[in-house]
Amino acid sequence: MAIYLLVFFISFLVNLVLLIPFINLLYKLKFQRASQETRDAFNKRTPIFDKFHKQKAGTPVGGGILIILTTLFGFTLFIFSFAFMGKDIVSNYQSITSEIKILLFTFLFFSFLGLYDDFKKMFFWRQGSFFGLRLRHKLIIELLLATIVSYWMFSELDVSIINIPYLGVYDLSWWYIPFATFVIVAFSNAVNISDGLDGLSSGVLLIALLAFWTISISILDTPLLIFIAVWIGGLIAFLYFNVYPARLFLGDTGALSFGATFAVIGLLLGKVFALTIIGGVFVAEILSSLIQLVSKKYRGKKLFPVAPIHLWLQYKGWEEPKIVMRAWVISILFAVFGLMIAFLK
């Protein structure tokens, strides 16, 4: 266990040292929102959001880029170091290579999608083009990437069952592919939606990953233990600069990648039911947004004054740090309850 804690501390220190020059680089590259004007899924202005977040204009976006690069490099370095030192690399699956491939493909390719969207928002929409990717275009690409990952889990790792405590184990056969695809896309967008307040998505994700790290320790899955340790180290360093008032935002690059990878880790651990509980804050965020979208689409009017739920709380008069702190507390409770569910036999 001590060696994985060392991995975490090395990752934290490396990211902490790199973050300040990286923030300065983002300023030089003008990788920031020149205006806090935003648009919803129907490409319409969001004046309520702009009202509460206009002071964030000019803050660099792209913190996820550094975490992704350092996590990929750190994970690769430590995996080879373990092999070089002769330490056992243990996995729940017969093919460790396939497990690593699935993990890294998700982490990297969802970040490419987010990076493209960030570039659109940062540079091209000001010239009169649309604001980032259209929702349907983004969803199509997300579905394609998630389907590839789900197919690999089904075909190469022989994953096809889900365990629901007290109800039993169910073999979904090839239906596992669309099921896993839905889970991956849902959490990818849930983390992205939650990335609206300083420290909200990164703090909640950190708590949830600590819960998954605990599960990984109990089953001694070396690739997941190393990957989560490196990732958590980067997230804590990022959170230091992301708490209110934030000096750096994740951006879609980080949010889409982190959400999808979080879901894949839950699926690889075989804890999909616990995943929805441990990630309960993300579930609440995306459900509130989905209900609002459906109401606007089919009823022609809003169900809530504003969505997602964190923005509704701001609208009700809650201060931003208060919302974030309480979301962290709720996330801790969800994580503890999710761990209890995960360890049920």
Residue 326 in tokens = 């309480």
Residue 183 belongs to domain spanning: 2-271
| DSSP helix/strand/coil, 169 | strand
Would you write out the chain's pLDDT as a tens digit for each of its 345 residues? 788 999 999 999 999 999 999 999 999 988 876 555 555 544 555 666 666 666 777 889 889 999 999 999 999 999 999 888 878 788 888 889 999 999 999 999 999 999 988 887 776 654 444 455 677 888 999 999 999 999 999 999 999 988 887 788 889 999 999 999 999 999 999 999 999 899 999 999 999 999 999 999 888 889 999 999 999 999 999 999 999 999 999 999 999 999 999 999 999 999 999 999 999 999 999 999 999 888 887 777 788 888 899 999 998 989 999 999 999 999 999 999 999 988 876
Instruction: Flag whether 207 is in a domain.
Output: yes
Instruction: Flag whether 326 is in a domain.
Output: no
pLDDT score, position 90: 85
Instruction: Flag whether 166 is in a domain.
Output: yes
Q: Binding residue per annotation — 198? A: no
Instruction: Flag whether 333 is in a domain.
Output: no
CA-to-CA separations, 119 to 29, 39, 123, 125, 300, in angstroms, rounded: 11, 16, 6, 9, 32
Pairwise CA distance, residues 111 & 253, whole Å = 5
Instruction: Flag whether 282 is in a domain.
Output: no
CA angle at 215 for the pair 211 and 218, rounded to the nearest 5°? 140
Domain count, the chain: 1
Instruction: Flag whether 335 is in a domain.
Output: no
pLDDT score, position 42: 47
pLDDT score, position 204: 98
Instruction: Flag whether 288 is in a domain.
Output: no
pLDDT score, position 220: 84
Q: Binding residue per annotation — 252? A: yes
pLDDT score, position 135: 77
Pairwise CA distance, residues 114 & 66, whole Å = 13
Instruction: Flag whether 255 is in a domain.
Output: yes
Is residue 332 within a helix (H) or strand (E), and if so which, with residue range? Answer: helix 320-342
pLDDT digits (tens, 9 = 90+) for 249-259: 999 999 999 99
pLDDT score, position 167: 80
Could you identify the residue written with the tokens 């849902």?
186
